[in-house]
Structures are given as C-alpha cells and as structure tokens.
Structure 1
Amino acid sequence: MNKHDFKQRGLPVIHDRAAGIDIGSRFHVVAVPADLAKESVQTFQAFTADLERMANWLVNLGITTIAMESTGVYWIPVYEILEAHGLQVILANARDARAVPGRKTDVNDAQWIQRLHACGLLRASFHPDREISALRSYLRLRERHLDYAAAHIQHMQKALTHMNPRLHHVVADIAGLSGMRIIRAIVAGERSPSSLAALSDKRCKAGIDVIEASLVGNYQPEHVFALTQALSMYDAYQAQLLVCDQQIAQVLLKLSQEKVSPVEQLPKPRHNTRQPNALNFDVRTLLYQLVGVDLTQIHGIGPYLALRLVAECGTDLSRWRTCHHFTSWLTLAPGCRISGGKVLSAHTRKTKNRVTAHLRLAAVTVGRTNTALGAFYRRLAARIGKAKAVTATARKIAILFYNAMRFGMSYQDPGADHYEQKYRERVVKGLYRRAAEFGFTLQPASGVS
C-alpha cells in the first residue's frame, strides 16, 4: 500500500456533517467537509452580524455538529449564537485538539479540528445548560464584587494606620458591626475617643477603656479623605451585591418552578451561625426545592458552597457516568501514567476548576471537626501529609455531593468514633491475615476484645 492509498483511506468518519472552527479575537476560520461546499474554508469577522451569517451558512449546508477550542473568552458568543440556531456545539480542550507540527496556521487549525471531530476524536468539555450558565455567571460576578470590596477594606485599614487609631487591635474585623460603626462615625466627623468607643459592641473582648485608648488618632484631612473614599467604594460594592443576590434568587425561583416540590420537609440546619458574605435570602430553602435534597447536611458544605457547586456542575450529574468520572473531572482522583507496566506518576493534575478550589477549602475546614470526615482527614494528614489529606478529603466530599445530587442520598454522619472503630477493625483484620500467611495465629490479650 503506497502513501497515497493510505491518505485516501484515513480514519473512519463518524460525523459526516461536522465542522471545525478556529476561534480568534478578530475573526474566526470555519472548515466544513470538502464535498459540502466549493469553498470548504471560510473566514468570518467577530462582529455579531457576521456570527449570525456564519450560523446561517452552516445550517444551510446541513451541518449538525461543530467543534471549537476554548480560546480565552472569545468562544462564548460563538457558542451561544450557534447553539441558538439549533446546532450541537462541542467545546474541546486545546490540549486534545493541539495541532501537529507543520499545521500552525488558522486555516490548517480549522481543518485539523474539523477532521478530528469528524472522526470522533474530540471530547466535549462540560458546559452547563442555559439557565445554570446564567446562575453561574451571576455568582462569579458576585465573587468579583466581593474581591473588589475586600480591596477597599484594605484601603480603609491603610488610612486608619496613617491616622493611628488602632482599631484593628481591639476588634476582630474592621468590616464587622463595631468596626463599620466606628469608621462611619470618623467619616461623619466624630473625634471623641469615648464617643467612638461607645459604638463598639458589648461582645468585644477588649474592655471599653482599652477601646477608648486605641481610638485616639491623628486625624489629618488627607487621611480622612482617603478613608471616606474607600468607605464610599465599599458601600457601592455592597449595594451591587444586593442587586446580584436579587438576580440569583430570581434564577433559583425560575429553576425550582420547573421541578416537583419535595415531599419531605426541609431538615433543620446543623448550625444557625451566619457565614460572612452570605447571600441575602434563604439559600437552603430554594436549593432544597431545586435539587430535592439538603446538601448542607454533608459536613463541609454550607449553603453558599452548595449553591456554588450547583451553579458550576448543574443539577443533572448523569453527564458523569460514575462518581469516579466526576472526581476525575475535578482532578481529585490520582493520575494514571503507566508505561511498560510501571507507574510513572500518580499525582493529580493541576487545574483551575473553581469547584475543586472550593472543595479543598471545605476539606481544610472539615478537618477541624469531630466528624467521620474530620477523623479521616487527621489520620491521613498524620500518615501522608496535609496536602494529600486535603485532596483525599475533598474527593470524599465530592463523592457525597455526587451521590446526593444523582441518587438522592441523604447523608448521616457516623461520627469520628465510628470511623476510628472501622479503621481499627481493618488494621486488626490485616494483622490476622499477615500472621496466617506466615503460619502464626494471633490471640487477643486478656481483657482486650
């Protein structure tokens, strides 16, 4: 068989109506099968009218499925417009669609993506439905507002440091109730240490005399002006957070109306403490109506984290066949690089997945609790280190979330003592087995069960 015959045969075509798009910031290059159009490769500008023209051209050619790389954020309008025209869009990881050497042009990239997709060699990255995608966008915007507001808290702290009232030494958080009362009074013109100290909450650990002494400052006009500006910006972002919360609540209400209401009532919360930067509505109730299970019963998952997980993963977790596929997508499962029967590496891959970052933080928090998950974390941390223990605990929380969302599993914590007992039974069983292998019989000591 010569080279020409091999080129003609090639790989089997699975999608004969497949197209490939090379995404760019100014224009997009689209490749379709050569037998569908005289010009099988066309370039379209990134303007919305050109994107509509591109979608109509693909529909008229009878294209049914399209693949593109996730290039920056430029793929988002292309994806949404093509999806609105009823086309199946595959968002491929650039790692999977990487061009071979000698193909690095826009036209060749588009043709290569089209060829790979036609042969079924590209895997679709996860992309949530339209409603879940909107919820995710609102939550990500809210997180940016929180980051910007936190920066202005630092600006307030810097202005206070210049004026020398040691407010941060006597209150736990200057953005808390007592701190904001005192800062607003300073901006309003109050300078009396006793009057400022009277605004502090009675639950402050520092005595009133210590608070009063710490609020004697050198209030220069330029520093007061900087404090006023930082406070105004902080308040502006707090107002935007309220608007974001309203939008998020509306989306959750709309999504929950399409679901059947749960038969059982919402369980009581595990604790009633309000988390910092919590949303300004009852998240647990709306989430329970949406997913039909109380995710906050899982240790490490609070109302806000439960909402973040639903916004990032959606409500239909059947897209991942098993919990192992789900944890692999989160890069919380061990790697599997094997060659010649030898394991080259079992490290987890690096990722920018927001869900993974939140689950790792939850694992650190649950490690301090007297629960089965906390006992699991502490035992692993003592044996293999905290970094691996965080990953393993985050994976367990992810599996519990997957089982709750897909199968409606209700979580009941067996407790740290139960976990320790199970661990002891496993160790003793292993000791009996090893002793039997060497021809010995173990006998428990007197008075020990």
Structure 2
Amino acid sequence: MAKVVKFFQVHGKGAGIDIGTRQIFVSVDGTSAVNFQTYTADYEACCKYLLENGITEVAMEATGVYWFCLYTMLEDHGIRVCLVNPREVQQVRGRKSDVQDCQWMQQLFTAGLLRESLIPQGLLKELRFLVRERLDLIESSSAYVNKMQRALELMNIKLANVISQIQGASGLKILRAILAGERDPERLASLCHKSILKTKAEDVAKSLHGNYNDVYLSMLRHALEMWEFHMVQIKALEQEISVLLDRINRDTSQVEVKGAPRPTRHHNPAIEDLHTKMVQIYGGIDLTGIAGINDVTLMRLLAEVGTDLDRFPDVGHFVSWLGLSPAYKQSGKMKRRIKGNPSNHAGQIFRQCAQSLIASRYNAIGEFMRRLRSRKGSRIAIKAGARKIAQAYYNALTKGLEYVEQGAEQYKKMLKQREIDLMKKLAKKHAFELKECA
C-alpha cells in the first residue's frame, strides 16, 4: 500500500477545486474528491458541501473565464478564494487527471505553497472587464482599417502614403466621398485638413488617381461600415466605464486638481473629466507627472492593479510580479541570466509606456533606454525602461514620492560627471595626475 505523504498545514481548513467546462472536482482532504456539474444550482450545492465540511478557504486555477462565477458565489458564501496560475500546480507528466489535480491542489494549498493571483475587489473587478473589452474592440477595429487599406491598394489609391491615418478626420471624409461617387482627385484632396493641404496638396491629389472597381468599392464600403460599428460600440463602452468611475469616486474625498492633463494621441476615450477622476481615485496624487504615463494608462493600471499596493513588501517584489525584473538561475558556483516569465497585463502596460519614450529626446528614461539599446538591444532596453517607470509608480503610491523629470540633458551631465569621478579614482590609484584640457 502506498504511503501517504503529508505536508505541514498552513491553511488547515482549505480545499482544492479543479474547474472544467462541464464538471468541477472538489477535494477537502487531499485524498478523496467529489464532482459537481457547472450549472448555478450545482455551484450552490458545492458551496453548501464546503461549508458542511468546515471549509473556509479554497484554491482553484484561473482557467479561462470558467472560474469567475464560482469565485463570486464562494465569496458570497463567506469562503475565501485563492486563485492561482495553472503553472503553479502542474502535475507530474503522465499522472494528470481532474481528480488528481484537485487533490494535489488541496495539498499544496494547505501547505502554503501556492501564490495567489491579484484579483481586484468590488467595482474594480467590473472595471477590469470593461477596460479589457474596450482594448479588444480597438484591436478588432484595426483589422478593418487594414481591410480598407487593402481595398484602396487594389484600386491603386495610395492615400496611406501621404496621410498618417486613413481613419482620421481627413481620411474618413475622402473615403465617404469616394463611396458616394466622387472621383475627381482635386475635389477629394480639398476635403483634407488645411494643415495637410499646406504641405501635401499635390501629393494627396496624385495619390487619389485610382483604377476604380465595383467589387473593390464594395469591399471598402463593408470594411468602413464595420469600423464605424466598432467605434459606436467603443463609445458606448466608454460611457459605461465613465459611470463606473463615478461610482468608485463616491467613496473618495474631493481634491483640488492642479495642472492640465497630459494629451493622449490615439484612442482618447470619450470620458468627461477623466483626469480629475483619476487624481481623485488615486488619493489626490497626479501620477501623469511620471514619464510615459497619461490618464488612459492610469485607467488601465487601476483596472489591473488597483490603488492598494500593500500586498507587495517593497518595490522589488512589485516589479518582479510585473515580470520586469531580471531572472537568474543559480546552482552551486553557476549563476546565469535566463529568460524569465512573460509580463502580465500590468507589466505589458508599463512596457508600452517605455516603448513610447524610447524615441523621446527630452526625458531621462528615453536617453537611458537608447544608451542601453546600443549595447543590449531593444527588448532589454524597453524592459529596463518599463522597470524604471514601474518603480516610480510604486514609490509615488506607497511613499508619496513625486517623480521629478530631470531631462535628457541633465541625465547626460550626470553620466559625464560619473565618468570623470571614475577617472579621478583610477588616476589616484595608479599615481597619475589628471589635467583638464583648455
């Protein structure tokens, strides 16, 4: 008979749940398992079963969206839920089954060996779904922009070569006029904004000489209609987000907001006073002073992380959770850097902030990343820049430290002074004397 291995118990009244599409498997002791179907009535029976067995905490995998309803119902019944990454509870190869998964999860959880995923509480949980849905719609709409460009290329209309965005104000006027039957390049070009006509009027008119075709025009019309449909859905979703932000703001004290909001170049949400709402939710701290962060970024970070970072003991734990810290493997005398786990949603936001700064000539983080890129490449440079932005974000929220932009020139002067100090130190060590050239 196989010997049962027992762990020290940290969560004595814990259970493990393996979630599937049709069934869930529950283990309250690590050796047996009970299954329930995934209907609401069966979830209620599962909650009752757990309470009857004295269970106060459960662990389960974050499997797709199947976990969400059961997670909510367990919380409503007063049972604390530890949601874990599936990678944390992988079974030994060749021994995986739903029953064994829930038993193994129960054993790991009661021994305190599982790391809990960060799940926003209350209204922030709803905000996360709405913000992610908005991003999904934006990504879906970009596919129809590509289809519009494809239809134009099939007719040899080179509009995308002379204006930055065919879905911008000038581009949409031209596309709608083409679909309405206008073919004169000069008249079509006259629909552009005066700033474009001032420098590119001839090129725009030249790009609109096309080989028009009814099939390709039909493709262009369908793509434009689908893009416009997505824009309507995004606007409606942004109104729901605005209402939700107002509900979150009810529990926060009113603060005086100073300074203008930082502009957003693409996909600026139609949310009234977004800057004011963000400053109030973040306790009066204007985090848009951090390089690369604007109000849309803060809204996304609010949905992913929230405003309470006390669960992270220090800034190192925070950037590690984001997937922005270097990963090392150490064994004996061997220590080498390895490819770490990919960043989570919040980590990706900070990476995007860093990527927007890498070409900037006016801030220190951009200069830092360009210097690092020349030696290590863009991927490592962006990751390091994202880490600096995340550190400033953490320090501002937990310690109230204001981020002060020193600028690229000041950063260069600091590096120069550091190199001079190093040369003086080496000169003193080897009994040399340094003289500054006139």
Q: TM-score range by the shorter chain?
A: over 0.9
**Where does residue 288 of structure 1 map in the other structure?**
279
Quick one: which of 182, 195, 201 aligns to 1:190? 182
Matching of residue 217 in structure 1 with residue 223 in structure 2: no
**Where does residue 118 of structure 1 map in the other structure?**
110
The answer on whether the counterparts of 2:322 and 2:343 sit within 8 Å (CA) in structure 1 is no
Q: Could you tell me how far apart the structure 2 residues matched to 1:128 and 1:234 are?
A: 32
**Where does residue 260 of structure 1 map in the other structure?**
253
**Where does residue 434 of structure 2 map in the other structure?**
444
Q: 1:205-254, CA deviations, whole angstroms, 9 ceiling, x for partnerless residues?
A: 65434433332333332222222111111111110011111011111111
- Return 5+ residue gaps in structure 1 as ranges: none
Q: Could you tell me how far apart the structure 2 residues matched to 1:75 and 1:381 are?
A: 41
Letter in 1 for 2:62: S
Q: Could you tell me how far apart the structure 2 residues matched to 1:405 and 1:261 are?
A: 18
TM-superposed deviation, 1:432: 4.0
Matching of residue 11 in structure 1 with residue 7 in structure 2: yes
Between Structure 1 and Structure 2, how many residues are aligned?
Answer: 434
Q: In structure 2, do the counterparts of structure 1 residues 191 and 421 end up closer, same or farther at CA, with 3 Å as the change threshold?
A: closer
Identity of aligned residues (%): 36
TM-superposed deviation, 1:446: 4.1
- Give SS of 2:194's match: coil
Letter in 1 for 2:430: F
Matches within 5 A, 1:249-328: 249-262=242-255, 264-269=256-261, 272=263, 274-281=264-271, 282-291=273-282, 292-328=284-320
- Compare 417-426 and 316-325 and name the one that shifted more: 417-426
**Where does residue 51 of structure 1 map in the other structure?**
43
- Give SS of 2:327's match: coil
**Where does residue 373 of structure 1 map in the other structure?**
365
**Where does residue 349 of structure 2 map in the other structure?**
358
**Where does residue 421 of structure 2 map in the other structure?**
429
Q: In structure 2, do the counterparts of structure 1 residues 127 and 442 end up closer, same or farther at CA, with 3 Å as the change threshold?
A: farther
Q: In structure 2, do the counterparts of structure 1 residues 220 and 57 end up closer, same or farther at CA, with 3 Å as the change threshold?
A: same
Letter in 2 for 1:92: V
**Where does residue 404 of structure 2 map in the other structure?**
412
Letter in 1 for 2:246: L
Letter in 2 for 1:360: R
**Where does residue 236 of structure 1 map in the other structure?**
229
Matching of residue 75 in structure 1 with residue 101 in structure 2: no
Q: Could you tell me how far apart the structure 2 residues matched to 1:416 and 1:219 are?
A: 50
Q: 1:1-50, CA deviations, whole angstroms, 9 ceiling, x for partnerless residues?
A: xx96xx47x3222222110011212111000127xxxx952101111221
Matching of residue 339 in structure 1 with residue 335 in structure 2: no
- Give SS of 2:386's match: helix
Matching of residue 246 in structure 1 with residue 239 in structure 2: yes
TM-superposed deviation, 1:132: 1.4
TM-superposed deviation, 1:434: 4.2
Q: In structure 2, do the counterparts of structure 1 residues 204 and 441 end up closer, same or farther at CA, with 3 Å as the change threshold?
A: same
Q: Could you tell me how far apart the structure 1 residues matched to 2:384 and 2:340 are?
A: 14
TM-superposed deviation, 1:188: 2.0
Q: In structure 2, do the counterparts of structure 1 residues 182 and 42 end up closer, same or farther at CA, with 3 Å as the change threshold?
A: same
Q: In structure 2, do the counterparts of structure 1 residues 256 and 348 end up closer, same or farther at CA, with 3 Å as the change threshold?
A: farther
Q: In structure 2, do the counterparts of structure 1 residues 172 and 14 end up closer, same or farther at CA, with 3 Å as the change threshold?
A: closer
Matching of residue 400 in structure 1 with residue 396 in structure 2: no
- Compare 297-306 and 402-411 and name the one that shifted more: 402-411
- Give SS of 1:445's match: coil
- Compare 48-57 and 439-448 and name the one that shifted more: 439-448
Q: 1:77-116, CA deviations, whole angstroms, 9 ceiling, x for partnerless residues?
A: 2222212222110112222212245642221221111111
Q: In structure 2, do the counterparts of structure 1 residues 244 and 350 end up closer, same or farther at CA, with 3 Å as the change threshold?
A: same
Q: In structure 2, do the counterparts of structure 1 residues 237 and 334 end up closer, same or farther at CA, with 3 Å as the change threshold?
A: same
The answer on whether the counterparts of 2:261 and 2:295 sit within 8 Å (CA) in structure 1 is no
TM-superposed deviation, 1:421: 2.8
The answer on whether the counterparts of 1:20 and 1:67 sit within 8 Å (CA) in structure 2 is yes
TM-superposed deviation, 1:194: 2.9
Q: Could you tell me how far apart the structure 1 residues matched to 2:267 and 2:407 are?
A: 29
**Where does residue 160 of structure 2 map in the other structure?**
168
- Compare 296-305 and 199-208 and name the one that shifted more: 199-208
Matching of residue 29 in structure 1 with residue 19 in structure 2: no
TM-superposed deviation, 1:73: 2.7
